[in-house]
Amino acid sequence: MDQIAGFLPLLLIGLVFYFLIIRPQRARQQRQVQLVSSLAVGDRIVTIGGLHGTIQEVDEDTIRVEIAPGTVATLVKGAVARTLTDTDTDSALEIDIDDDTDGFGPGPKR
């Protein structure tokens, strides 16, 4: 019985580790795989670097994304952080650069 009592704290630490770290990471990986496999032409996306754009072409491992009018970048599919819905794109694209609400002063003079 003493051997079981000595092993119990290690078992509890293992269970806590599983439920707080391993299980959420697996769920995140599954969501990323599902996101990457569902990418299609015309989807509006945000990359892990914060670039917003519209998918112009989808290949096996890469996508071509228009990030500005006439500017198309080739990205690895894994670089996509999320897709945007119509309500997300409306609020994300209406950013006033000269707005002083961030506390860092006005944007650069143009």
Q: For residue range 26-39, what is the model confidence (pLDDT) as tens digits?
A: 999 999 999 999 99
- Listed in sequence order, the DSSP H helices in the chain are 2-17, 23-37, 86-93
- What pLDDT, on the 0 to 100 scale, is given for residue 58? 96
**Taking the CB of residue 88, how many other CB atoms lie within 10 A of it?**
14
Q: At 48, is the pLDDT very low, low, confident or very high (cuts 50, 70, 90)?
A: very high
More confidently predicted of 66 and 104? 66
Confidence check: pLDDT of 99 > 80: no
Rounded CA-CA distance 31/39 in Å is 13
Against a cut of 0.75, is the pTM above it? no
- What pLDDT, on the 0 to 100 scale, is given for residue 86? 74
Quote the mean pLDDT of the chain: 84
